[in-house]
């Protein structure tokens, strides 16, 4: 019920339109109620000896009333349609706007398809109900009420018989609602799972193909489809039973009225016209009762969907900055400090960073090395506050990042990830992502410094070339250089490069290294390094292992005091070294 009331809240901006639609609906309904009355009169006038004059007039009146009803109904549908689409628009905006505010932790816990399903299927159900369903419900309800009143005025005794089934209909409809709502909610949930499955299959198509797993994927998908089918059948069975039942009950009243009313006509206590008018009212009840049943179903569906949408809207962003928070200190040059930071990812219970402290002076370059899974990426993600540490603090130029304005903080820190994401847009737009107003010259200059101009110009349309979804058309090394250009263009105070040379050949590596040297100038740089050539770019080196900082110093210092580091340098492949070596303690005592 609370969900339902909240859903009604979405109608608030459309109060006037809703009122107009209601008025139009009432007008149309007035005409509907008038028609049986006119019909009854017309039948009685058959016996008038006026050469069919009154019959003609009444026929004209019926046509008139019908035309008015037609016009009003068209108007109502137009107005209601606008409201419905307006609500869809608002809801989409709100949902998307809210999603943008949510933290990474939220998205990692969600399947893309689930979110898409809420943004489409559930949204449709809500907007249909609020735009059309509600008006139908009011209209049907009033039609039933007015017909009942008219029937009581015309023939109180008959009316009493005719209306006996009504409370039954209400009871049956209620019990239907109680069963169908959870059933429908489950249908929506399974559709969402199906969407998620489909989305993953399409996104992961390369893996599917590479492992020739189409059959298996199809099986999994069929399983999901079956689940939707089965649950939809549960809902359909409920519908199949209840809807005809709701339609059937009024027929009992109909039979009673025919029997009793017919005898009244035979006995001359009732005119034929009066009887037909009454009968027409009774018939008129049946349509709205059905509509009411269907629309109450739509209300159930909308409430179920609304609950799923509110689940997202009610999710508070876990990472917010205080109101009117300042940006990073303006005279700062990019000093980065981690003070005793510990991090546990949301939804897990193992700390991936354990009391890590590091101080990187402004303008310096720090290389982070360590086996995969050591927490290198996690550590650097704390600086732009992609996550917040459980304890400890992260400082940029002396200011705790959690006290800074989030957009300002993030625009002073750029991350080039190990698998950069490119949008379905031109190379130019991808580079200018951080600053869409950048001129062609600026974009070109950034690409130049990232050693990317060479290959970009070799593309079919140069900077205007569209790179496909996820930049599938470019190689990893090319995407990395575009991402570096993107970072250069945003001119951050602190640059973070994750694994930037992990997957490229020697000549690309040299180019990327040159690009890095170029971008490191005049700013603080944190490089997550896997190769000696990249490590060599750094002023100092920190070695992370299993979430702890185990070594920290210059290349020479570490060579001298750490056999472990010497081995990394010799082999150049820290992962391999770490994976086969003895635990740290043994090694330390062995020194």
Ligand X SMILES: Nc1ncnc2c1ncn2[C@@H]1O[C@H](COP(=O)(O)OP(=O)(O)O)[C@@H](O)[C@H]1O
The contact set with ligand X (CB under 6 A) reads 108, 345, 348, 352, 370, 372-378
x/- map, 101-120, Mg ion, by CB under 5 A: --------------------
Structure tokens at 430: 């991808």
Q: Does 534 bind Mg ion (CB under 5 A)?
A: no
Decide whether 133 or 477 has the Cβ nearer to Mg ion: 477
CA pair distance 591, 579, nearest whole angstrom: 19
Residue 352 interacting partner from ligand X, Mg ion, none (CB closer than 5 to 8 Å by kind):
ligand X
* Cα angle for residues 96, 100, 101 (degrees, 5° grid): 120
The distance of closest approach from Cβ of residue 375 to Mg ion in the complex, given in angstroms and rounded to an integer, is 8
* Max Cα–Cα distance, the chain, nearest Å: 125
Residue 378 interacting partner from Mg ion, ligand X, none (CB closer than 5 to 8 Å by kind):
ligand X
Residue 297 interacting partner from ligand X, Mg ion, none (CB closer than 5 to 8 Å by kind):
none
Residue 348 interacting partner from ligand X, Mg ion, none (CB closer than 5 to 8 Å by kind):
ligand X
The distance of closest approach from Cβ of residue 354 to ligand X in the complex, given in angstroms and rounded to an integer, is 11
> What is residue 493's three-state secondary structure?
coil
Q: Which residues partner with 359 through β-bridges?
A: 337
Place of tokens 């905006």: 93
Please answer whether residues 486 and 426 qualify as being in contact, where contact means their C-beta atoms are separated by less than 8 angstroms: no
CA pair distance 191, 117, nearest whole angstrom: 7
Residue 108 interacting partner from Mg ion, ligand X, none (CB closer than 5 to 8 Å by kind):
ligand X
Backbone dihedral angles phi then psi of residue 346, each to the nearest 5 degrees: -55, 135
Q: Does 511 bind Mg ion (CB under 5 A)?
A: no
First to last CA, the chain: 70
Positions 345 through 384 that interact with Mg ion (CB under 5 A): 377
Place of tokens 């190990």: 418
Decide whether 377 or 511 has the Cβ nearer to Mg ion: 377
The distance of closest approach from Cβ of residue 497 to ligand X in the complex, given in angstroms and rounded to an integer, is 12
The distance of closest approach from Cβ of residue 369 to Mg ion in the complex, given in angstroms and rounded to an integer, is 11
The distance of closest approach from Cβ of residue 340 to ligand X in the complex, given in angstroms and rounded to an integer, is 18
Decide whether 151 or 528 has the Cβ nearer to ligand X: 528
CA pair distance 416, 558, nearest whole angstrom: 27
Taken in order 5, 11, 13, 17, is the CA torsion positive or negative?
Answer: negative
Decide whether 419 or 435 has the Cβ nearer to ligand X: 419
Decide whether 77 or 548 has the Cβ nearer to ligand X: 548
Please answer whether residues 457 and 487 qualify as being in contact, where contact means their C-beta atoms are separated by less than 8 angstroms: no
The distance of closest approach from Cβ of residue 314 to ligand X in the complex, given in angstroms and rounded to an integer, is 23
Decide whether 348 or 437 has the Cβ nearer to ligand X: 348
CA pair distance 357, 343, nearest whole angstrom: 12
Please answer whether residues 54 and 48 qualify as being in contact, where contact means their C-beta atoms are separated by less than 8 angstroms: yes
The distance of closest approach from Cβ of residue 529 to ligand X in the complex, given in angstroms and rounded to an integer, is 11
Do the strands 351-360 and 365-369 form a parallel or antiparallel pair, or are they unpaired? unpaired
Decide whether 291 or 377 has the Cβ nearer to Mg ion: 377
The distance of closest approach from Cβ of residue 459 to ligand X in the complex, given in angstroms and rounded to an integer, is 31
The distance of closest approach from Cβ of residue 520 to ligand X in the complex, given in angstroms and rounded to an integer, is 20
Decide whether 231 or 377 has the Cβ nearer to Mg ion: 377
Residue 374 interacting partner from Mg ion, ligand X, none (CB closer than 5 to 8 Å by kind):
ligand X
Decide whether 185 or 378 has the Cβ nearer to ligand X: 378
Burial state string for 283-311 with b = 16 or more CB within 10 A and e = fewer than 16: ebbbebbbbbbbbbbbbbbbbbbbbbbee
Binding interface with Mg ion (CB under 5 A): 377
């Amino acid at each position: 019920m609370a969900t339902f009331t909240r859903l009604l809240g979405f109608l608030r901006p459309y109060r006037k339109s809703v009122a107009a639609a209601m008025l139009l609906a009432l007008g149309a309904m007035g005409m509907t109620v008038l028609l049986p009355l006119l019909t009854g009169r017309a039948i009685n006038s058959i016996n008038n000896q006026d050469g069919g004059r009154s019959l003609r007039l009444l026929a004209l009146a019926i046509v008139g009333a019908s035309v008015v009803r037609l016009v009003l109904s068209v108007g109502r549908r137009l107005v209601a349609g606008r409201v419905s689409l307006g609500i869809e628009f608002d809801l989409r905006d709100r949902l998307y706007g809210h999603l943008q505010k949510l933290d990474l932790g939220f998205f990692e816990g969600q399947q893309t398809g689930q979110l898409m399903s809420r943004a489409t299927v559930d949204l449709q159900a809500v907007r249909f109900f609020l735009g059309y369903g509600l008006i139908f419900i009011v209209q049907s309800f009033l039609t039933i009420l007015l017909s009942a009143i008219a029937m009581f005025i015309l023939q109180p005794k008959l009316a009493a018989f005719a209306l006996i089934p009504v409370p039954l209909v209400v009871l049956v409809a209620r019990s239907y609602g109680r069963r169908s709502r959870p059933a429908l909610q489950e249908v929506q949930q399974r559709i969402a799972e199906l969407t998620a499955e489909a989305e993953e299959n399409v996104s992961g198509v390369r893996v599917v193909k590479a492992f020739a797993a189409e059959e298996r994927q199809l099986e999994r998908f069929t399983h999901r489809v079956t689940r939707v089918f089965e649950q939809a059948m549960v809902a359909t069975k409920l519908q199949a039973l209840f809807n005809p039942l709701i339609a059937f009950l009024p027929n009992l009243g109909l039979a009673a009225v025919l029997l009793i009313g017919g005898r009244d006509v035979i006995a001359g206590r009732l005119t034929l016209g009066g009887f037909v008018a009454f009968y027409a009212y009774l018939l008129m009840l049946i349509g709205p009762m059905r509509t009411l049943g269907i629309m109450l179903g739509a209300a159930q569906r909308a409430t179920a969907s609304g609950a799923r949408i509110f689940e997202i809207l009610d999710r508070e962003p876990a990472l917010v900055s205080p109101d009117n928070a300042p940006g990073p200190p303006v005279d700062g040059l990019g000093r980065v400090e981690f003070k005793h930071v510990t991090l546990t990812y949301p939804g897990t219970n193992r700390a991936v960073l354990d009391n890590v402290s590091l101080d990187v002076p402004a303008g310096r370059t720090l290389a982070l090395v360590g086996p995969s899974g050591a927490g290198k990426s996690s550590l650097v993600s704390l600086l732009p506050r992609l996550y917040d540490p459980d304890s400890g603090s992260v400082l940029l130029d002396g200011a705790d990042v959690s006290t800074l304005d989030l957009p300002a903080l993030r625009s002073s820190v750029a991350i080039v990830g190990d698998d950069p994401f490119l949008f379905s847009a031109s190379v130019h737009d991808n580079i200018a992502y951080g600053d869409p107003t950048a001129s062609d010259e600026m974009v070109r200059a950034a690409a130049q410094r990232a050693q990317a101009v060479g290959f970009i110009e070799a593309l079919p349309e140069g900077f205007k070339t569209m790179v496909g979804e996820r930049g599938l058309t470019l190689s990893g090394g090319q995407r990395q250089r575009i991402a570096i250009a993107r970072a250069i263009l945003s001119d951050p105070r602190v640059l973070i490069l994750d694994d930037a040379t992990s997957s490229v050949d020697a000549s690309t590596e040299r180019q990327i290294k040159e690009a890095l040297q170029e971008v490191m100038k005049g700013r603080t740089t944190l490089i997550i390094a896997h190769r000696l050539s990249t490590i060599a770019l750094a002023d100092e080196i920190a070695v992370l292992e299993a979430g702890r900082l185990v070594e920290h110093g210059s290349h020479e210092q570490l060579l001298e005091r750490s056999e472990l580091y010497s081995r990394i340098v010799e082999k150049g492949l820290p992962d391999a070294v770490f994976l086969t070596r003895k635990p740290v303690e043994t090694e330390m005592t062995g020194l």
